[in-house]
Chains A and B, each alone.
Chain A
Amino acid sequence: SQTIHQWPATLVQPVGSPLSLECTVEGTSNPNLYWYRQAAGRGLQLLFYSVGIGQISSEVPQNLSASRPQDRQFILSSKKLLLSDSGFYLCAWSVSLTNEKLFFGSGTQLSVL
């Protein structure tokens, strides 16, 4: 069966520090991978998605970047965190890009202080 791992579960970082969140998927090949963010009181906002190794599409221009160095690995990064980067970050995967349910990781609660 397929599983998705996301870590860390919680993270407290000072403003201006770097960020690296990692996500890996097991039990499937060539998944579509996503990074979402949920700010307080808001819906899930799509940040990045990837259809293959090295292929990244950005939905929201901002302080973050994503990379996919391996088929089942997706990394969310920032060189310098801002206060507004605080939120709940979710990694997800799907079989196809179109009209397909997403399978989410357990999330990372990021607090930038």
Chain B
Amino acid sequence: DQQVKQNSPSLSVQEGRISILNCDYTNSMFDYFLWYKKYPAEGPTFLISISSIKDKNEDGRFTVFLNKSAKHLSLHIVPSQPGDSAVYFCAASAWSDMRFGAGTRLTVKP
């Protein structure tokens, strides 16, 4: 069962523009959400997270938005840089149960 879905397998944006990566979840028990970034032949690295008591968390160029009523979260990268090109995984957690989406491959073109 896919409790966390990233419906866009890939996204391409121009350098300097905004990148918006989306994630939907089905389990209303999830209360903590994370984004990971993965380069080829490397393990994912933690990028940013948000608790269900918030609707926004910002860290530099990265902002995560949470819409609990829609069970939707998104990651905004502004401005996008070529070094941001990677696969981004969304994850949702309830207690010790962490589920991952299938990932979105972001390509930032110079």
B interface with A by C-beta (< 8 Å): 2, 4, 6, 9, 31-32, 34, 36, 41-46, 49, 51, 89, 91, 93, 95-96, 98-103
Let me know if A107 and B42 touch, CB within 8 A. Answer: yes
Interface size on A, residues (CB 8 A): 24
Nearest CB on A from B7, distance (A): 12
A98-B93, A101-B49 given. 14 additional CB < 8 A pairs? Answer: A43-B4, A43-B6, A43-B99, A45-B100, A49-B96, A92-B43, A98-B95, A98-B96, A99-B51, A99-B93, A102-B98, A104-B43, A104-B44, A107-B43
* Chain B residues, Cβ within 8 Å of A104: 36, 43-45
Evaluate contact between A42 and B102: CB separation under 8 angstroms: yes
Q: Is A106 an interface residue when CB atoms closer than 8 A count as contact?
A: yes
- CB-based closest 9 A-B pairs: A104-B43, A99-B32, A44-B100, A43-B100, A97-B96, A101-B46, A43-B102, A104-B44, A43-B101
